[in-house]
Amino acid sequence: MYKRILVPTDFSKNALNAVRYALDLYAKLNCEFYFLNVFKLENYTTDTLIIPEPGSAEFEVAKAKSEENFVKLLDMLALHHDNPKHIYHTIPTFTFLSAAIKKTISNKDIDLVVMGTKGASGAKGVIFGSNTVKTMEIVSECPVLAVPKEVRFTSPKEIVFPTDFKSVFKRRELRYLIEIAKMHEATVRVLHISKKPFLKPEQEENKQLLRDILDEVAHSFHTLTEKDVADGITAFVESRDSDMIAFINHRHFFFEKIFTKPLVKEIGYDATVPILALH
């Protein structure tokens, strides 16, 4: 059974870094990688009433450039990432990125999306580009892994899982976290950040459920009494030199606080570990 992984790319260094990270993270598994490029037409904007059609000169030139970049990417992977367990597919398309991602997830039965955190524009001081944040928000069919551009792959040995214990955990939600932990013999550090040192009865029940679910991997529980969730996560990860952060993207969870615009101020300018958004 092949795992199907979607990697959107704009052929930037950051996108290439995400490709490499995904290949190394899943080096031991049989995988089909789908590389998706949404190509742009120089003279086309959303204000233009006439949408370029396949067959038009401008459309075909842009598509040919995308395909040419794919050839270069596959040549590079053949040279540096020749893994008999991996099969590569390329998808050049002209549409909105979010629509292309959703369509590919549906058509190819994708298990995981892996993205770089910044696009080719690479705006200074912005850790998670708007495309990455939007993808984490709109994709509910599978997990999304965001890889900061400075991260070089090392086998993850410690994965931080922040939670407020307010939601009932389900095994299927945590399947990919457990899979990665098993593959790399990583320990899951469950982190609870709260101003109060005690849990309510329902939180205690959810904590016990989580303990049962994580029974098949090494894990431990930690509590920080921090005012700010993002500061607490950052301090914990940096002090322990952790390798990844995983969280369940519940709508009411702290996703909005951390992974939208204020992220730059809250996490700082040096996101150093990949973020796995589970659903």
Asked which of 90, 116, 147 is the last residue of a domain, the reply is 147
CATH number, domain containing residue 201: 3.40.50.620
**Does residue 138 sit in the same domain as residue 173?**
no
Q: N- to C-terminal Cα distance for the chain? A: 22
- What pLDDT digit, counting tens, does each position of 43-74 carry? 655 555 556 667 677 788 889 999 999 999 99
Q: Which residues pair with 277 in a beta bridge?
A: 144, 247
Confidence grade of residue 139 (pLDDT, cut at 50, 70, 90): confident
Assess contact for 41 and 52: CB atoms under 8 A.
yes
If you average pLDDT over each of 106-120, 167-181, 225-239, which comes out highest? 167-181
Asked which of 108, 128, 147 is the last residue of a domain, the reply is 147
Asked which of 124, 147, 170 is the last residue of a domain, the reply is 147
**Does residue 135 sit in the same domain as residue 163?**
no
> pLDDT at residue 254 above 70?
no
Stretch 252-267: mean pLDDT, rounded? 43
The pLDDT of residue 201? 95
The pLDDT of residue 230? 77
Stretch 140-164: mean pLDDT, rounded? 92
Q: Does the predicted model carry a pTM greater than 0.75?
A: yes
Stretch 218-247: mean pLDDT, rounded? 89
**Does residue 143 sit in the same domain as residue 21?**
yes
Stretch 219-236: mean pLDDT, rounded? 86
Asked, for residue 179, whether it belongs to a domain, the answer is yes
* Residue 235 burial (C-beta neighbours within 10 Å; 0-12, 13-18, 19+): middle
The pLDDT of residue 260? 45
Range of the domain at 239: 158-278
Asked, for residue 68, whether it belongs to a domain, the answer is yes
**Does residue 82 sit in the same domain as residue 177?**
no
Nearest to 140 by CA among 2, 249, 3: 249
Nearest to 87 by CA among 25, 31, 37: 31
The pLDDT of residue 255? 47
CA 187/CA 248 separation, integer angstroms: 17
Tokens of 249: 């993207």
The pLDDT of residue 46? 52
Asked, for residue 153, whether it belongs to a domain, the answer is no
Average pLDDT over the chain, rounded to an integer: 85
**Does residue 17 sit in the same domain as residue 91?**
yes
> pLDDT at residue 122 above 70?
no
**Does residue 11 sit in the same domain as residue 139?**
yes
Stretch 81-99: mean pLDDT, rounded? 93
Stretch 146-151: mean pLDDT, rounded? 87
Domain count, the chain: 2
Residue 254 or residue 174, greater confidence? 174
